[in-house]
Amino acid sequence: MENTHYDVIIAGAGPAGTTAATLLAQYGHRVLLIERDKHPRFHIGESMLPMSEPVMKRLGIDWATGNQKKGGAEFIDEVSGRQTYFPLAGKYRTFQVERSIFDERLFDNAVSQGVEARQQENVTQVACSEAEVNIETDKASYQGRYFIDATGRNAIMGKKLASINKIADLGKFALYQHYKLADSAEARALYEHGNVKIFLSAIGWIWCIPLTGERLSVGLVVQKESPNNLKQAELFAQYINASPYMASLLQEAEVLSEVSIEADFSYQNTQRHGQRFACCGDASGFLDPVFSSGFFFALKTAEFVADQLHTGLLAGTEEDPELHVSSDEFYQIGFKTMHRLIERFYGSNLVENLFFESDRQLNIKQEIADLLAGDLWQEDNGFQQGLLRGRSKK
C-alpha cells in the first residue's frame, strides 16, 4: 500500500515550489510536490536578476546553458531622447530564459534529487491542524508534517484565509507578444549585449527582452487609463508602433503568439505563514514586473522557507505558528524595498528625475544598480535606506 505520509507537501511546481522542494530534499526530508498542470507550460517573466545565481548554484542548475546572456537594463525616453544603462552582470551572472523550458528544468532537477512529484493533479482542500497536515486532491489524499503553498496567484492559503490585499497605483495590466526577429544590425546588437530595454510610454511602459533563437518578448504595461474603444491587440499595436525603436526592430519580424494579457499585478498576502504552513513565490505576494523581481522573489521566498522549515523539522517544532517570523521579517525588507522603488517609478517620475541623472552621482548609480540586481539586503546602501524610511503611497 502506498505511503501517503510526507515530511513536506508542496502545492505548485513553478520556480518557488521546485526550489523549496529541492532544498528540502537535499536536507533529507521526504517531499511531495503537486502540480495541477504539466510541464512544459507557458509562463511570462523571462528576465532574471543576478542575485538568483547563488540559489541556482544551491539547486545544482547551470543556468548559462541554453539561455540568452543579459548584460543589464536600459531605461529610455524616446520623446526627450534621454536614456541610461545599469550594468547588472558583475560578481554573479544573469540571463533571459524561456520560462516553459527553464521551469521544466527546475522541475526535473527536483525529481532527480529525490522529490516525489505529481503532475495534472489539483489540490482541492488543505487542513492544517496542531497535529498534522491533511491534503485532498482530485486524485488522492495525503498527510504530512508541513504544507507549503507555492500555487502562484491562485494562492490557496491566501484565499482560504482572505488575506490577499491588492496594492494600488502600480501597473494595471500587461499585454505581451512574442516574435522571431529578422536579421538586422539592430537585432544583432540586441542579442550581443542581451540588455532588457524599458521604454517610457504615454500610457505606462514597454519591455523588450531578447531571448535565444532570435526571439523577442515584448510587453506593454498599462498604468494610466487606456482608450476604451480599442481592443487588446489594437491597444498593444498602437503603443508598440509609437516607439520608433520597436517599430524599426519589429520590421519583417515573425509573430509567434497572439497578444496575451496578465492582470491584477500587485498584491501582498498578509498571512504568509501559520500553523504548519508557509507561502512562497506569488502565493506570498507579487509586484509589478518593471524591475523583473517576480522570479527572483519566488526563489528567495522558497529559500527562506525551506531553510527555516528544515530547522523546525529537525527540532520537532514545525507546528509552531511563529516558525517563520524572523526569516519573513528579513524577507520583507527586500519586498518593501522593491515596492517602494516601483512606487517611485510610477508616482515620482523616478526615471526622469533620478535614473537619468545618476551618471552625475556614480555612488548612487551603483546603489540603484545593486537593487536592480536583487541585492536587497545590504546595510550600507544609502539609496535603499532612504526608500525604506520614506512614506509608502498606499
- For residue 54, cis peptide bond before it (omega within 30 degrees of 0): no
Q: Read off the pLDDT of residues 33-56 as tens digits, 9 standing for 90 and up.
A: 999 999 999 999 999 999 999 999
Residue with cell 523550458: 101
Residue with cell 526615471: 351
Instruction: Report how far residue 126's alpha carbon sits from residue 138's, in angstroms, rounded to the nearest whole number.
Output: 12
Look at strands 196-200 and 72-77 and give their pairing. Answer: parallel
Beta bridge partners of 123: 137
- Listed residue (162, 365, 182) closest to 271, CA to CA: 162
Instruction: Report how far residue 97's alpha carbon sits from residue 104's, in angstroms, rounded to the nearest whole number.
Output: 12
pTM here is 0.95
- How many C-alpha atoms does 355 have within 13 Å on its Cβ side? 26
Report residue 370: phi and psi, to 5°.
-60, -45
- Among 3.40.630.10, 3.30.565.10, 3.30.9.100, 3.40.50.2300, name the CATH number for the domain at 173-263: 3.30.9.100
> C-alpha angle with apex 228: 223 to 230, nearest 5 degrees?
100
Q: Read off the pLDDT of residues 61-102 as tens digits, 9 standing for 90 and up.
A: 999 999 999 999 999 999 999 999 999 988 899 999 999 999
Quote the cell numbers at residue 5: 505520509
Judge whether residue 229 has pLDDT over 80: no
Answer yes or no: are the C-beta atoms of 41 and 177 closer than 8 Å.
no
- Listed residue (157, 164, 166, 160) closest to 278, CA to CA: 157
Instruction: Report how far residue 339's alpha carbon sits from residue 336's, in angstroms, rounded to the nearest whole number.
Output: 5
Q: Give the pLDDT band (50/70/90) at residue 1.
A: very low
Q: Where are the alpha helices (DSSP H) in 83-204?
A: 99-112, 156-160, 185-193
Weakest mean pLDDT among 7-21, 216-230, 231-245, 294-308: 216-230
**Domain limits, the chain:** 5-54+86-166+266-389, 173-263
Q: Mean per-residue pLDDT for 213-241?
A: 91
> C-alpha angle with apex 90: 84 to 94, nearest 5 degrees?
85
Q: Give the pLDDT band (50/70/90) at residue 393.
A: low
Weakest mean pLDDT among 73-87, 133-147, 241-255, 261-275: 261-275
Q: Mean per-residue pLDDT for 143-169?
A: 96
Q: What is the CATH number of domain 5-54+86-166+266-389?
A: 3.50.50.60
Instruction: Report how far residue 146's alpha carbon sits from residue 134's, in angstroms, rounded to the nearest whole number.
Output: 9
Report percent pLDDT > 90 for the chain: 91
Neighbours of 226 (CB within 10 A): 18
- For residue 210, cis peptide bond before it (omega within 30 degrees of 0): no
Look at residue 291 in the predicted model and tell me its pLDDT.
96
Q: Long-range pairs for 185-190 at CB < 8 Å and ≥24 separation? A: 186/245, 186/248, 186/249, 187/214, 187/249, 190/216, 190/249
Judge whether residue 391 has pLDDT over 90: no
Q: Read off the pLDDT of residues 158-206 as tens digits, 9 standing for 90 and up.
A: 999 999 999 988 988 999 999 999 999 999 999 999 999 999 999 999 9
φ/ψ bin of 245: left (φ > 0), alpha (ψ from -120 to 50), beta (otherwise): alpha
Question: Could you write out the DSSP letters of every residue in 56-118?
Answer: HHHHT--TTTTSEE--EEEEEETTTTEEEEEE--SSS--EE--HHHHHHHHHHHHHHTT-EEE
Look at residue 290 in the predicted model and tell me its pLDDT.
95
- Listed residue (32, 25, 24) closest to 113, CA to CA: 25
Q: Mean per-residue pLDDT for 286-313?
A: 97
Quote the cell numbers at residue 377: 539586503
Residue with cell 541610461: 84
Residue with cell 529610455: 76
Q: Read off the pLDDT of residues 314-343 as tens digits, 9 standing for 90 and up.
A: 999 999 999 999 999 999 999 999 999 999
Weakest mean pLDDT among 226-230, 242-246, 354-358: 226-230
